[in-house]
Structure 1
Amino acid sequence: MHASSSIPELYDHVIDNGRLQFIEKLGEGAYGVVYRAVDLDSPTSSRNPDPKQYAVKVMLKAQPRTRHVRYQRGEIAAHRSVSAHPNILTLHKVIEDEPYIYLVMDYCPGGDMFRHITERKTYGGKTDLVKKVFVQILDAVQACHEQGLAHRDLKPDNILCMDESGSRVVLADFGLSTSSDRSSTFGCGSSYYTSPETIGTDFGYRPYDAKVADVWSLGVMLVNMIAGRNPWTSATMEDQCFLRSMTKPGYLQKMLPISDEAVTILQRIFTYDPKMRITLPKLREAILKVKTFFMTKEQLAKSHRFAQIAARSYFQKYYSFTEEDYKEMNALEQAEFGRRENLVEALVVENPTNHFRLVDRVGSPGMPSLTNSDSDSDAESIGPVTPARNAVGSETLVDVPLLKDGEDMGVPVVPTVAKKRRDRPFGSLVQFMERFAL
């Protein structure tokens, strides 16, 4: 049972000596519930009739001398250390009473990037907007890394939009972050976005650099923004979309309407060998040089039907294809996707000249499972966002002084966060193929 289920409804609940009043539940996770709150003391006028708003994350206080205490304090310390960055969600205040801890943060009226991708299709066909937003995300992650912090749960759910346009974003939720140079927590994050070394099964569960793993997650997010889909369900040898993406040059463009420029960048991100992965500064530089992230209509007309279908579902208006363009869809090679290929015990990594070479599969069966002493298989990313079940590391152990109820925030409020629970993210290529019986 999640601890958040033990938190009663707190509508109209007032904290901070009567200053903040809860008015709406925005979302909940494993250990917290997020409410929208209004500042009853904020001045109003005819020009600005509405009081200031915040997102307040409510957490049950962890029992003393437990691992959960370390998680709570680690999350707060991590968020505070980077909160001043313009592309990171501002944490204004941490207060406590019995039996709760309250994290007072900016409220984001634009919701999260997940919503903008899946419901509003905000970024489809808009290279300048994708570039503008993705660079903001890169800058936020770079700021974390410069503070010695790896986020470890990068995904659209954790990118919050300052307004309805989806053009100004901030990074949120530091519940899985770590300051360790080498992490030994495996399966940490959301499966669609975790790197092969983070999963650990094909790497012999060797300690990994979580900052480098963040770059992989950014690559999956870039695919989300360009194509509205996940490239695979899990970056392991058990996932046929992942295997084909690694072993078959051109596979991503076969399935998704991604430009040549974007594919070149993704090849530098999705390197099976973490040491060969592109750095954040180089990635930022490459993103700024892109002319288009999307296939042109002419390229798409000549592309594989799978890419055409994905384009139609994500931004039909941009391409203006008709149903007639897809009448041959069911005649495609269905058998190709109804069987698993006999792949060699190898995976592909990108070498410095951007060619592909096979490397021996690393790791071995029989290594320790996720439920080891450094992980909590029942824990979940908490706060404004709620991913699939994750292992949460116990590596960030920072003592954080909490403020008592009523202490002054000391910083101005800028409108901004929040999130509703999702059981699963938008479709992966596997789900996409199943839907169309490909």
Structure 2
Amino acid sequence: MDKYEIIKMIGEGAFGKVFLAKGKVDNHQSVIKEINLTKMPVKEKEASQKEVILLAKMKHPNIVTFYSSLQEKNKLYIVMEYCGGGDLMRRINMQRGVLFDEDQILAWFVQISLGLKHIHDRKVLHRDIKAQNIFLSNNGMVAKLGDFGIARMLNNTMELARTCVGTPYYLSPEICENRPYNNKTYVCKYMFAWMLSSTI
């Protein structure tokens, strides 16, 4: 962590914090996710390690870029791309009821769909697609899918998952009914989440 200077904390969760930082050598801004491993149950520790592995595999313009990870003093640090436009939910709230331009909505929808296709082609389910996990570039034109904390790797595209995870507002019918689900479930779930968020 000596290579980075922390600018400010930009988020906090149950097991960690998210910081805006810049490189001491190149002044390049990035996001550092700090995960405290000391009080974390074994399953969550494994999920954090899996997130690092998954992020390292994802190379796509519509997925938040993974830079590096390191572990120091029972803390895991994940260094990622900084998206200066914040998350989509924040952007929706900033509209204060004013509708987005239809072309902008379609552009974001296509971009996230392309990011989603990229991860599904690699047999990964995101499992928590929502406006808070979609990040925007500085000018707000480019949308990127982020936060792979509860993503799951499938052995093949036909394998069905059974674990009930995700944000309750955006759960698909299969998950609510405790039925198996696959990548098709998550495409529908994303579309539903997008429609719900866009009407706020």
In the alignment of these two chains, the number of paired residues is 196
Task: Work out the CA distance in 2 between the residues paired with 1:226 and 1:36.
Answer: 27
Task: Work out the CA distance in 2 between the residues paired with 1:64 and 1:222.
Answer: 31
Q: Counterpart of 1:192 in 2: which secondary structure?
A: helix
Residue in 2 that maps onto 1:341: none
- Whether contact under 8 Å (1:151, 1:178) holds in the other structure is yes
Q: Counterpart of 1:55 in 2: which secondary structure?
A: strand
Displacement of 1:129 after TM fit? Answer: 0.7
Residue in 1 that maps onto 2:25: 41
Compared with structure 1, are the counterparts of its residues 176 and 64 closer, same or farther at alpha carbon in structure 2 (3 Å cutoff)?
closer
* 1:89 aligns to 2:64 (yes or no): yes
- Whether contact under 8 Å (1:92, 1:104) holds in the other structure is yes
Q: Which has the higher contact order (CA 8 A, sep 6+)?
A: 1
Residue in 1 that maps onto 2:123: 148
Q: Deviations over 1:131-188 (max 9, x none)?
A: 111100000000000000010100000000111x4221111011111113211112x1
TM-score, normalization: structure 1? 0.42
2:144 corresponds to which of 170, 178, 202: 170
TM-score, normalization: structure 2? 0.90
Q: Counterpart of 1:110 in 2: which secondary structure?
A: coil
* 1:58 aligns to 2:34 (yes or no): yes
Task: Work out the CA distance in 1 between the residues paired with 2:194 and 2:14.
Answer: 27
Displacement of 1:121 after TM fit? Answer: 5.3
Task: Work out the CA distance in 1 between the residues paired with 2:40 and 2:10.
Answer: 28
1:184 corresponds to which of 158, 162, 185: 162
Letter of the aligned partner of 2:188 in structure 1? Answer: W
Q: Deviations over 1:273-313 (max 9, x none)?
A: xxxxxxxxxxxxxxxxxxxxxxxxxxxxxxxxxxxxxxxxx
Paired residues for 1:27-38 under 5 Å: 27-38=11-22
- Larger Rg: 1 or 2? 1
* 1:120 aligns to 2:92 (yes or no): no
Paired residues for 1:375-386 under 5 Å: none
- Whether contact under 8 Å (1:113, 1:166) holds in the other structure is no
1:196 corresponds to which of 166, 173, 177: 173
Letter of the aligned partner of 2:146 in structure 1? Answer: A
Q: Deviations over 1:35-54 (max 9, x none)?
A: 11111111xxxxxxxx2111
Paired residues for 1:240-319 under 5 Å: none
Q: Which runs of 4+ in 1 moved over 6 A?
A: none
* 1:227 aligns to 2:199 (yes or no): yes
Gaps of 5+ in 1: 1-14, 43-50, 229-438
Q: Counterpart of 2:170 in 1: which secondary structure?
A: coil
- Whether contact under 8 Å (2:131, 2:194) holds in the other structure is no
Paired residues for 1:273-422 under 5 Å: none
Letter of the aligned partner of 2:195 in structure 1? Answer: V
Residue in 1 that maps onto 2:53: 77
Gaps of 5+ in 2: none
Compared with structure 1, are the counterparts of its residues 166 and 123 closer, same or farther at alpha carbon in structure 2 (3 Å cutoff)?
farther
Compared with structure 1, are the counterparts of its residues 39 and 185 closer, same or farther at alpha carbon in structure 2 (3 Å cutoff)?
same
Task: Work out the CA distance in 2 between the residues paired with 1:176 and 1:128.
Answer: 31
Compared with structure 1, are the counterparts of its residues 226 and 72 closer, same or farther at alpha carbon in structure 2 (3 Å cutoff)?
closer
Task: Work out the CA distance in 2 between the residues paired with 1:108 and 1:64.
Answer: 28
2:179 corresponds to which of 183, 190, 206: 206
Compared with structure 1, are the counterparts of its residues 33 and 171 closer, same or farther at alpha carbon in structure 2 (3 Å cutoff)?
same
Displacement of 1:191 after TM fit? Answer: 1.1
Task: Work out the CA distance in 2 between the residues paired with 1:221 and 1:116.
Answer: 15
- Whether contact under 8 Å (2:15, 2:40) holds in the other structure is no
Superposed CA RMSD: 2.1
Q: Counterpart of 2:125 in 1: which secondary structure?
A: coil
Q: Deviations over 1:248-274 (max 9, x none)?
A: xxxxxxxxxxxxxxxxxxxxxxxxxxx
